Amino acid sequence: MPKTILDTNVEAAALRFLRQGERVVLVTILASQGSTPRHAGTRALFIQEGLQGTVGGGVLEAKACLLAKRALRDVQSLWASYSFEPGKASDMVCGGSITVLCEVLQPRQSELFAQAQAALQTGQTGLWVVSLHNLEQDKGFPDCVNEPVMVGVERNLLLGKCRQGPSLEQAGSLYLEPLIAQPVLFIAGAGHVSLELAKCAHACGFVIDVADDRAEFANAQRFFMARKCFVLPHFTGIREHCALNVSSYVAIMTRGHTYDQEVLAQILRTPVRYVGMIGSRKKRDHVYAALRAQGVSQERLDAVHCPIGLDLKAETPQQIAVSIVAELLCSKNGVDSCKSLSALSE
């Protein structure tokens, strides 16, 4: 069984399948309206063994799979729009509409996806430009399901370009989608809670880097999902070795407040997107007082999430991991974590 794209990004998975000689269809939701389970930019791959990843499950995914299976069989890209009426067989109470493209990838495109993967690994921005030809006149969202139609697809990659989100333009004949690297979570400390956090965060789309001062803890066998494992004596040299930047997420959870303080002092000199530290408020106050004495501003300390994670009254390592990942997703998606927690309690 091939590794699914749940374990990696779509570009990397597409590249691997193409190089293995697999016939592969890239399934993309081009646009959506209403209460659909997933929205524009959602992607998965369809190969002979079936769907790799998900585009939302339920009736939507079933229709997408049928379309992809036909595209794979006929070696012809297909385009279709679907409208789900409330209370009908779709089981979508609020209703909604989607446009789906099932794009047959060609072996020659392996070089294109290799460029995309290389850009993602180096933090470059880019833009997928997908030209759609031979579409029917009736574009957009018809009132009922339209018959799938064959479509010519020309895919290009513009490196260095950037935009906020995917969109259909030029009367539906041009699809633009940003090439966005997966968010990277750097975990300082490789104990039991860190391991559960790495598993949970990786499952939610984060690339995992881990650091510890003990090689028996920070290693590829223990953290099998991690991109990199760093062994740093006394947790020194984080800024030099771990490539943190404005897009990085940091979770500090070493085995003691002395090391936590050492890591936090280094992280606060780096412009990361999110930093959280595990521990009680008493520990936080102790660490913050020491850092203020070293010249760290209160404003910088106020940006740290400590205690880390949403207050779910979590106790086990797995529960704590869930609470932290929930807060990470709030930060990533621009959601007010306080409102999110309020919604959970309703």
Residue range 194-239, pLDDT digits in tens: 999 999 999 998 999 999 999 999 999 999 999 999 999 999 999 8
Q: What is the pLDDT of residue 287?
A: 95
pLDDT digits (tens, 9 = 90+) for 121-178: 877 889 999 999 876 544 444 444 556 788 899 999 999 888 888 999 988 889 999 9
Q: What is the pLDDT of residue 314?
A: 92
Domain with CATH 3.40.50.720 in the chain: 184-339
Query: Average pLDDT over the chain, rounded to whole?
Result: 87
Task: Kindly indicate the confidence band of residue 341, based on its pLDDT and cuts at 50, 70 and 90.
Answer: low
Is the pLDDT at 3 greater than 90, yes or no? no
Q: What is the pLDDT of residue 336?
A: 80
Token look-up 């290389």 returns: 118
Q: What is the pLDDT of residue 95?
A: 63
pLDDT digits (tens, 9 = 90+) for 68-95: 999 999 999 999 988 766 655 445 555 6
Q: What is the pLDDT of residue 10?
A: 92
The DSSP-derived string for 9-73 is: -HHHHHHHHHHTT---EEEEEEEEEES-SS-TT-EEEEETTEEES-SSSHHHHHHHHHHHHHHHH
- Residues 44-64 have a mean pLDDT of 89
Q: What is the pLDDT of residue 139?
A: 46
Phi and psi (nearest 5°) for 107?
A: -55, -35
Q: How many residues does the chain have?
A: 346
Secondary structure class of 210 (helix, strand, coil): strand
Fold of 184-339: Rossmann fold (3.40.50)
In angstroms, rounded to a whole number, what is the distance separating the alpha carbons of residues 157 and 21?
22
- Residues 24-39 have a mean pLDDT of 86
**Which helix (H) or strand (E) element contains residue 326?**
helix 317-333
- Packing angle of the helix pair 110-121, 10-19 (nearest 10 deg): 140
Q: Which tops the pLDDT comparison, 328 or 98?
A: 328
Contact (Cβ atoms closer than 8 angstroms) between residue 31 and residue 79: no
ω before 183 within 30° of 0 (cis)? Answer: no
